[in-house]
Amino acid sequence: MASNFLRLRKPYYVESTINCSSSSDQKLVNLSFGIDETRNQTKKRQAKEHHGRRSCLDSCCWVTGYLCTTWWLLLFLYHCCLPFTVVHEVPELMPAARLKREGLTGIHPVVLVPGIVTGGLELWEGKPCADGLFRKRLWGGGGFTQLLKRPLCWLEHLSLHNETGLDPPGIRVRPVPGLFGADYSAPGYFVWDVLVKNLAKIGYEGKNLHMAAYDWRLSFQNTEVRDRALSRLKSKIELMYRANGNKKVVVVPHSMGVAYFLHFLKWVETPPPMGGGGGLGWCAEHIKAIVNIGPSFLGVPKAVSNILSAEGKDVAYFRAMAPGVLDSGTLGLRALEHVMRVSRTWDSVVSLMPKGGETIWGNMDWSPEDEHVCDFSKKRYFRLSPSDNNVNKSNAKQVFRVKDPVKYGRIISFGKAASVLHSSQLPTAVLKEILHMSASRNFTSSCGEAWTEYDEMSRESIQKIGAADKAYTATTLFDLLRFVAPKMMNRTEAHFSHGIADNLDDPKYNHYKFWSNPLEMKLPDAPNMEIYCSYGVGIATERSYVYKLSPSNKCKRIPYQIDTSVDGEDRSCLKSGVYFADGDESVPVLSAGFMCAKGWKGRTRFNPSGINTYLREYQSKPLTSGIKSTAHVDIMGNIALIEDILRVAAGATGEEIGGNKIYSDILRMSERINLRL
C-alpha cells in the first residue's frame, strides 16, 4: 500500500520543480531519492520478517512433502514396477498363451465382480467446487489427482448422506461402467487388467465377458434401490447365457464383491418387491461356478480399527515414524479425522465387520488359531501340515513354539495387559456400563461444530471406554461401536447382520439384511454349481489390536489409537500394537476359508443341496510380486490363480483342476469351531 501511494505522489514532485530555483530543485531531488531509499529499506525489512514467519511452516511443509513423496514412490515401485515389468513384458509367462497352444478356449461366459474401493467412481452432479469434473473420475484411475487439487471438495463428493446412506443433496457420484472401470485402481497399479488380458487370449470379449460395476460405498440393497444394479446384473447374466448357446456363467467376485454376490444369490430368487423374482431354480439354470478371490466371507478385523480410529497397521506405522504429521494442528491436516468423517458414511464398511461372534472368532480365552505361531524374521508363517489327503505337504516347515497362545479373540484390547492376561484377572464386562452411558448421552458439547461423533461424546465417557485393561471380542465390540459411532451403526444395522442363525427356516431370514452373511442364509438349490474359495496364505494379516488413549485430549481429535509402542518377544505375533495371523495381508485365513472347509462342506443347513466347494490356497513366497504374489490385490496377477480361472471358464470342474489345495491350518481351525451344521 505504501509503495502504491509513493508512485502516485511522485509526479507531484516532478511537476513542482518547474517553477522553482535550482536550490529548490536540488532539495526536491534529494527528497525524492530519500523517499525511494526509505521505501526499499522498508521492503527489505518486511520481506525478512515475512520470511522469518514462514520459515517454520515452509520447513514443515517441505518435510511433509518429502515423506509423502518417498512413501508414494516406494508404494509405486513395489506395487507397480515389478508386476508391470514381469507380466506385461514377458508375455510367454502369461498362462493364457500356454493354455491356448494346448488348445484351451473359453466356453462359459464370465462375470467379474469387484470389491470395495477397486471400482472407479465418476461425477454426474456436484457442488460449485467441482466445476469441470462432469463424468470425470473421483476414484480410481486418475481420479486421485483431485485429492491434491481440491481435497475438501473431493472428500465432500465421496461422502454419502449420514442418515439415508444415499446421495447427499446436489451430489451424484456413480460407478464407472464396463471393464475400464476396474482394470486399474491407480495408474500402473493393476486390479483386473491382467486377468482380463488372459481371458482375451482364449477368446473372451464384450459378448461373453462383463464387469458388474456397482457403487461399493452403498449397502448392497441400496445399490438396487438407487441404481438398479442387481436388476441389471440379473439381466446381463440372462443375456450372456442366451447369447452364448445357453452356457452357464462363471462368476469371479473379489474381496467384498464376494459378499455382494452372496447377497445377489438370495435377492435373485426372492419374489418382488424385495427380490428379483427369478424363482428358486434361477441359480441352478444360469450359474456354473463361483470362483471367489480373497473372499471376506466372515469379515475382517481391520474393519473394526477403521471404524474405531480410521487406522490399520500401515497408518499406525506411518504415525509412529512421523509423529505429529497426521495429527498436526500446526499444519491443519487432520487427515484421519477427514478419513473417518467420509468412511463412516459408507455402509459397505460395516458389511466387512466380523461375522459369527465368539463362536467363530473366539472369546476372551480361546480362539480357533490357538497354538498358531509366527516368525517375523522370515516375514512369513510356518506350520506342521496336517495328515489330510487334500493337504499339500511339500512345503511343511519347522514350527517355532511359544509358551502362551495368543488370545486372538480379544479383537480390541486397551493396554497390552488386556491382551495377554487371563480373563479372570481383567475388569468385568463393560456392557452394562456402556449402555448406562448411552442412556445418559445427551450433554452440551464444548467442541462447537462436531467433526466426528467423538465430538458429541463427553470426555468422561471417552476415558471410561478406553480405560486400561479392558478388552472386546467379536460379540462385545458391536456394543462398543454402537456407542462411539451410533449414527453409522443405527443406519447400517438395518442393512447387515453379523450373527449365526438358529433356525434358517424362520421367515425373518427372508429379509435382505441377512443375505450377505453366510451364517444366516442358505445357498441356492443348485447341486451342480461349484463354489471355490481362492486366496493367498503365508502373509502376516491383521487379526487383533492393542489400543491406547490418544495423547491429545483436544476437540476434533480421534481419542483412541493403535499403541505402536507395544511389541512382543522374538518371533511373536505381536508387532507395533497389532497381532498378526495367517492370511493374504487383508483377510485372515479363518474368514476366507472356513465356509468352504466346513460351513458349506457337504450337505449342511447352510448348503442344503450339497453344492461342491473347493479350497484353493496360493502360498506366499518371500520377496515375490506380480505373477507369484498372493497378497490380497496382487493375487489378481498370480499365474496359478489365473490358470485355475481360465480352466474353469473353459469347462473344467473342481476335481479336474486338482481339487483342494491347502497350505494353511484352515482344517484344524475349522475343527476347533463348534458350529451346528
d(CA 10, CA 58): 37
Strand partners, 209: 110
- Phi/psi for 565 (5° steps) reads -80, -10
Angle, to 10 degrees, between the axis of helix 639-649 and the axis of helix 193-201? 50
Catalytic residues: 255, 584, 632
Q: Is 368 exposed, middle or buried (0-12, 13-18, 19+ CB in 10 A)?
A: buried
- Tell me how far apart the alpha carbons of residues 304 and 473 are, in angstroms, rounded to a whole number: 11
- Dist CA 600 CA 523 (whole Å): 9
Q: Tell me how far apart the alpha carbons of residues 135 and 119 are, in angstroms, rounded to a whole number.
A: 15
Write the secondary structure of 173-218 as one string of H (helix), E (strand) and C (coil).
EEECCCHHHCCEEECCEECCHHHHHHHHHCCCCCCCEEECCCCCCC
List Cβ neighbours of 376 (8 Å cut-off, separation of 6 or more). 540, 571, 572, 575
Q: Provide φ and ψ at 561, rounded to 5°.
A: -155, 155
Give the cell for residue 123: 461425477
| C-alpha dihedral (613, 618, 619, 621), degrees to nearest 10 | -170
H or E element, residue 583? strand 578-583
d(C-alpha 465, C-alpha 534), whole Å: 38
Question: Cell triple for residue 376?
Answer: 517375523
Contacts of 564 (CB under 8 A, 6+ apart): 316, 317, 319, 320, 576, 577
Check residue 452 and report its DSSP letter: S
**What is the per-residue DSSP string for 507-569?**
GGGGSGGGTT-TTSSPPPS-TT-EEEEEEEESEEEEEEEEEEE-S---TTS-SEEE-TT---S
